[in-house]
Amino acid sequence: MRKNSVKNTRINGEVQRVLAEIIRGEIKDPRISQWTSVVAVEVAPDLKSCKAFISVLGGKETQEATLQGLKSAEGFIKNKLAKAINLRNTPAITFVMDQSIEYGVNMSRKIDEVIARDQANAAEEDETAQEVDE
């Protein structure tokens, strides 16, 4: 089975949906932030392993605590996943912190700063040009 086959794409989507439900509603670990989302899932073509990319809203400490909580609950999550999705093999889950949302927010903030600085420079140049004309 190819990595990007239709079957694999459907399995990725279903595993992502079920993982999000399990993390949101069934895990009682206080280390896991309420603001945890499953951004993407990559299930290996042989269905033996799975990378779950998660995003956590909060500081570095919150992200690390959530990752530790999820790693300690891997067995519970795999059991729930096996009951929810009928696959020949239930994949072993590896949680990976996804920084793309944080990166996007940071880049957006930098773009806004540059735009504000350009507008300030343009206003300053207009004032200088008006003084010279007078």
Tell me the pLDDT of the chain (134 aa) as tens digits. 455 788 888 999 999 999 999 998 888 888 988 888 899 999 998 889 999 999 888 888 998 999 999 999 999 999 999 999 888 888 999 999 987 777 888 889 999 999 999 888 888 877 777 766 66
Chain Cα centroid distance, residue 41: 10
pTM: 0.72
Q: What pLDDT was estimated at residue 121?
A: 86
Q: Which helix (H) or strand (E) segment is 126 a member of?
A: helix 100-133
Pairwise CA distance, residues 1 & 46, whole Å: 8
- The pLDDT score that the predictor gives to residue 70 is 92
> What pLDDT shows up at residue 114?
92
| Architecture (CATH level 2) of domain 6-98 | 2-Layer Sandwich (3.30)
Neighbours of 112 (CB within 10 A): 10
Which residue, 59, 22, 26, 50, is CA-closest to 37?
Answer: 22
